[in-house]
Structure 1
Amino acid sequence: MNSQRELLTVAEVCAELKVGRSTFYQWRAKRRGPKCIKLPNAELRIRRSDLEDWLDHHEVQGA
Structure 2
Amino acid sequence: MARPQMLKLPEVLTEIGMSRAAFYRMRARGQAPRLRKLPNGQLRVSRVDLDVWWETCERNAA
TM-score by length of 2: 0.84
Matched, 1:53 2:52: yes
4+ residue segments displaced more than 3 Å: none
Q: How does 1:16-35 map to 2 (within 5 A)?
A: 16-35=15-34
Deviations 1:1-58 (A, max 9, x none): x5x7010111000000111011111111221100111111121100000000001011
Task: Compare the two structures and name the one with the higher helix fraction.
Answer: 2
Question: For residue 37 of structure 2, what is the amino acid of its counterpart?
Answer: K
Question: For residue 26 of structure 1, what is the amino acid of its counterpart?
Answer: R
Corresponding pairs, count: 59
User: Cα RMSD over matched residues?
Assistant: 1.4
**Sequence identity, in percent?**
36
Structure 1: stretches of 5+ with no match in the other structure: none
